[in-house]
Structure 1
Amino acid sequence: MIRRLFILGLLVVGINSCKNEQTGTFDATEDNLPNTEFANLLEDYSKQGYALDPMVATNAGDMSYNTEFPNFLSEDYKAKKKAYYNSFKNELSKIDKSTLNATEKMSYDVLNWDIDINLEAMQFKKDLMPIDQMWSKNLDFNQLASASNAQPFKTVEDYKNWTKRVDNYLIWLDATIENMKRGMEEGYVLPQSLIKKVIPQFETLAKGNVVDHLYYAPIKNLPDNFTEDERLKLTAEYKSMISDKIMPAHQKMVDFLTKEYLPEGRTTSGINATPLGDDYYNHQIKLYTTTNMTADEIHNLGLSEVARIRSEMEAVKKEVGFEGDLNAFFEHVRTKKELMPFTERSQVIAFYDSIHNVMKPQINKLFDKQPVTAFEVRRTEPFREKSAAANYSPGSLDGTRPGIFYTPIPDVESYNVFDKEDLFLHEAIPGHHFQIALQQENEDLPTFRKTLWYSAYGEGWALYTESMGKELGLYKDPYQYFGMLSAEIHRAIRLVVDTGLHAKGWSREKAIQYSLENEAESERAITSEIERYMANPGQALSYKIGQLKLIELRERASNALGDKFDIKEYHNQVLETGCIPLKLLEDKIDAWIESSK
């Protein structure tokens, strides 16, 4: 899973290439020269997009908005956002698409789709449930407070910028309470099980010693070139900010969530039990799969994939000589002490580094283009570790901030490695790091496409790469191969339980039980996963839908091209485009196949 702000479209500085995205060749005719009017439109879209969401700008490496955090919940902000999309929708309609070269036509289609899906989202009152345990803006903001992420802390001005941004964030935090109160009146409330997970996240930031607080981290890392006077003033300012602003604001949220919100929390699990209803879930399916599939189609696909993968798991069970049924084997894998070898968290990080070293000699056989952006493995920050999944955080556009694979290690002695080779492929290399870093480094893409994120493509790619483990020198241990199958069935299960929860009236408990019966994850991990799907309907569908499309396109190209098929070139074709809706990717691959015959 990648944790990043949902991009509003955003960030284009113009087209600087005539590369034909349909065929991978370069157009040289006068007719295919870049369209200046269109380039200017995209540039304006970028500039206004950064101003609309300054957090996106900071994460992309643009430091122009580092003091800002708008009140995303205000009516004024929502009016500006709607006007932004409508304005560019209107301007886009004035562009004569026939005058565009192939790269620009792809950008036109992507931009049009992105504007439409964002305008569609604004029809729903989801902002009356602005806080959850995994996806809400406070979690993104708190990551910046650690002084190890996108927000810079190199100069005195940087330190002062952060205090101003904190003041703006606290305005938004107050607004979330007001929105949740409205939500309580109108029936838009979180399930009680999710509220119980949110409360400890705020409690952590509402108490304790100031010098141990997350927001004190920048003071512990003051640059050596600061004068003694600067150090003293900033230390006093940050102590005051934490004790007088951050702690009280988070305690206010704890009090509200505990005393007012939790008693009104839902006992139902699916989003269709709120006034958002089936229409919102259908929107989420479209958003996260970039298809027009129905909930029933996805549910049935999930059931068939679970059955297929279970049969492969049976073969691995037989290979290792385990006697008993598959569910007993799941429990065996969950509890096998040999698969939990660590006593120190540093050993976990070293384990992932060893996986990378095994893969390095094989990477060149499968990938022509590889990222320049650096890569690191880090432990997930303690403030979010208990409820977080492993995730990838992208580097900056200029490559100065590395891509980071975060892994939660709340209890190192129970950290099971059976599925961790697979996890590294997905979250790190060649999964999210290759896909996102290459997208950001591609000078042929307009900048809004460098930062665009469609889950069906991005998560579909990451799941697709898991199947390449043997080609990359991994999965030699049958338990690690079983880990790959476990990860794949986990994503197939998501098709069943996500649609079950949000379209078929399944309870949280039924979804947990179905998962326990079909995969080797612990009940604690499965519970966290089910609650994740409850918080963000549809997101979990993107992985398997995207993976199956990429496998289908690879097989289509291989069958059509025969000896001419080059796996490295197929990966180039997929990765050079960056995140786009799956139908546009399919059209591109079909055109490449025809041009390669």
Structure 2
Amino acid sequence: MNASASLAALTDRYWAFERIENGLSAFLAGDDTGEPILLRESANDYARRDQAAADFLDQLAAIPLAELEATEAATHILLERELRLIRDNYALGTHLRPSLLPVGPDFSTVFFANAVTLSDVAAAELYVERLAQFPAFLADVRYCLLMGHAQGVRYPRLVLEAAARNSVGIASIKAETSPWYAPFAKSPLAGTAKMETQAERAKALIADALLPALSAYADTIAGPLMEGARDTLSCGDMHYALMIRQFTSTDMSAQAIHDLGMAETTRIEADMAVLAKDAGFGADVSGYRRFLATDGQFIAADANKLRERVEILCKRIDAKIPAYFRRIPRITYGVDVAPAAMSANLPPAYAQPAPSGGNSPGIFWVNGLPEKCPTYILPAMAVHEAWPGHLMHIGMMAELEHLPAFRRNGAIKYTACIEGWALYCEQLGIELGVYTTPHEHFGRLEMEMWRACRLVVDTGIHAFNWSREQAIAFLSDRLSLSPETIAAEVDRYIALPGQALAYHIGGIRVRAMRGRAEAALGDAFDLRHFHEVFMSAGPATLPVLDHVIDAWIAEAA
């Protein structure tokens, strides 16, 4: 075979491998294996994936990059990156120190349940079989945690305490009101005899097996892992360097990122001062922040009122989309409120993309605690999480048939691309006209400041030995978010090193791509075409996206 055909065959084999190893990803991609096991997290699973990645790399090395056209060359580069990250993570033993917050293994089971639609009895039977596998999955995670602990891995004490509280909260939910039982309540066949049989099986499994497994997982965190838990926060230089590379897709150093964050917070603070004056606070930016943080008008009366407000806002945004985008995805989305028991350790909002099969929508989840999601940040949140942000972007990716399956279904592996686009959409919201008051404009700047602060705080914690109190103080001086939200954010940066860096770094690069195109093309610049080119590139590293946009600029010029 020639290079092109060899690459296509290899990417097909890699996706076939991915479908089995990461069954949840295959399900979300609409390419479900039908296998009961969705989550494979044992030590043997990771060893098998490491060896497979080595074999795939040998096969990829035999395919000459120079003989591939542009899209294929990008596929070659991205496949090599994914395979090397599998090997690098295994070599460093990251599977023995999995993330526990803000989303841990327990949340993965909830995320799956939220995406399920039970349209027939066969789907319900498979869903129950999968529920039956979750206790074994949690046992595998516990084993890896204990293996890591035996080898000297120590989590920060505050991470373990928060993760245990979160898991206990999830495990305390009654089976019939749990998120794992919810697909039966939503099923169009709810109440029929055959569906009720499966619903009763599910309820028994949840009560007798899954909830006890969650309790055992929480006990492991609160018990054995707490022995020798550290009061220091840094994840260590080698681990942090890998996380920076993985999440930002750049070779930036911690120092360079920290310095960029300091410069960006200074720039944004100046923009905030202008808005504070417009809102009647003169030069008192801190006073304006206190007003936004404490005035009750910005807190919805309850979770349902908050959801209704977000639904109205999203529909208003949807009406503006065609003027700015030449293509939109076929799949739609809805708005829902996260359960209160899970909301304390969740961000103000998050996106759950639609499974690619097209039988259920994406979901824009809003925090179930209204005080964590003040109304003046809702427009920025909406364009970030829903359309034209995550739900639209990832929905488009699933339809990119010109890309191999591992690429169009790989959004989760390209945080800087996905989050960078969503931050770009927050600024695009100005052109869309979604910000209608000085408070909402300030909310957008608040969101941008939040992400810029992450560059400082994340690197401060993991590279420069900042304390939790120092990180909280830095954010409190620059954000109007509640003390509880700020504390939860700091705990997130401690628990998930490097992930928070991807947002602002990605946002800066996406805005720079548009800036280069506007400067080079002048009056010939077509914003709708720019958006199509960027989104059609699929999930990719920032260097690959730079190359795609620069090639388009050269062709258009």
TM-score between both structures, scaled by the size of structure 2? 0.93
8 Å CA contact 1:461–1:547 kept in 2: the answer is: yes
Question: Runs of 5+ in structure 1 lacking a partner?
Answer: 1-32, 273-277
Show the counterpart of 1:254. Answer: 218
Show the counterpart of 2:115. Answer: 149
Kindly provide the amino acid, as one letter, of the partner of residue 42 in structure 1: T
8 Å CA contact 1:460–1:545 kept in 2: the answer is: yes
Q: 1:113 to 1:466 in 2, by over 3 A?
A: same
1:195-214 correspondence runs (5 A):
195-207=160-172, 209-214=174-179
Show the counterpart of 1:359. Answer: 317
1:120-154 CA distances to partner (integer Å, 9 max, x unpaired)? 22211222223513232321112334xx413x433
8 Å CA contact 1:180–1:189 kept in 2: the answer is: no
8 Å CA contact 2:156–2:230 kept in 1: the answer is: yes
Show the counterpart of 1:43. Answer: 12
1:370-385 correspondence runs (5 A):
370-385=328-343
Show the counterpart of 2:144. Answer: 179
- Out of 92, 101, 107, which is 2:75 matched to? 107
1:283-307 CA distances to partner (integer Å, 9 max, x unpaired)? 1111111111000000000000000
- Number of residue pairs aligned between Structure 1 and Structure 2: 553
Q: Segments of 4+ in structure 1 off by > 6 A?
A: none
Cα deviation for residue 107 of structure 1 reads: 1.4
Show the counterpart of 1:480. Answer: 440
Q: 1:414 to 1:184 in 2, by over 3 A?
A: closer
8 Å CA contact 1:34–1:101 kept in 2: the answer is: no
Question: Alignment partner of 1:359: what SS?
Answer: helix
Show the counterpart of 2:397. Answer: 439
Show the counterpart of 1:471. Answer: 431
Cα deviation for residue 348 of structure 1 reads: 1.7
Kindly provide the amino acid, as one letter, of the partner of residue 81 in structure 2: W
1:162-177 correspondence runs (5 A):
162-177=127-142
Cα RMSD (Å): 2.3
Distance in 1 separating the partners of 2:416 and 2:282: 38
8 Å CA contact 1:51–1:65 kept in 2: the answer is: no
Q: 1:474 to 1:153 in 2, by over 3 A?
A: closer
- Out of 491, 503, 509, which is 2:451 matched to? 491
1:63-82 correspondence runs (5 A):
63-74=32-43, 76-82=44-50
- Out of 250, 253, 262, which is 1:291 matched to? 250
- The higher relative CO (CA closer than 8 Å, separation ≥ 6) is in 1
Question: Alignment partner of 1:378: what SS?
Answer: strand
Distance in 2 separating the partners of 1:234 and 1:227: 10
Distance in 2 separating the partners of 1:292 and 1:103: 23
Q: Does 1:578 align with 2:538?
A: yes
Distance in 2 separating the partners of 1:524 and 1:464: 27
Cα deviation for residue 212 of structure 1 reads: 3.4
Q: 1:97 to 1:415 in 2, by over 3 A?
A: closer
Distance in 1 separating the partners of 2:192 and 2:429: 52
- Out of 489, 494, 499, which is 1:539 matched to? 499
- Quote the sequence identity (%): 27
Question: Alignment partner of 2:342: what SS?
Answer: helix
Distance in 1 separating the partners of 2:404 and 2:239: 31
Distance in 1 separating the partners of 2:231 and 2:90: 26
1:103-132 CA distances to partner (integer Å, 9 max, x unpaired)? 222212221222222222221122222351
Cα deviation for residue 384 of structure 1 reads: 2.2
Distance in 2 separating the partners of 1:338 and 1:244: 44
Show the counterpart of 1:8. Answer: none
1:359-392 CA distances to partner (integer Å, 9 max, x unpaired)? 3453233222222211111112344222111111
Question: Alignment partner of 2:334: what SS?
Answer: strand
8 Å CA contact 1:71–1:168 kept in 2: the answer is: no
Kindly provide the amino acid, as one letter, of the partner of residue 136 in structure 2: I
8 Å CA contact 1:377–1:406 kept in 2: the answer is: yes
Distance in 2 separating the partners of 1:99 and 1:175: 43
1:532-583 CA distances to partner (integer Å, 9 max, x unpaired)? 1111111111111111111112111111111111111111221110111111
Kindly provide the amino acid, as one letter, of the partner of residue 488 in structure 2: S
Question: Alignment partner of 1:306: what SS?
Answer: helix
Cα deviation for residue 67 of structure 1 reads: 0.7
Show the counterpart of 1:84. Answer: 52
Cα deviation for residue 501 of structure 1 reads: 0.5
Distance in 2 separating the partners of 1:192 and 1:455: 27
Distance in 1 separating the partners of 2:213 and 2:372: 35
Q: 1:292 to 1:254 in 2, by over 3 A?
A: closer
TM-score between both structures, scaled by the size of structure 1? 0.87
Q: Does 1:318 align with 2:282?
A: no
Q: 1:502 to 1:476 in 2, by over 3 A?
A: same
Distance in 2 separating the partners of 1:559 and 1:259: 59
Question: Alignment partner of 1:518: what SS?
Answer: coil
Q: Does 1:271 align with 2:235?
A: yes
Q: Does 1:128 align with 2:89?
A: no
Q: Does 1:60 align with 2:54?
A: no
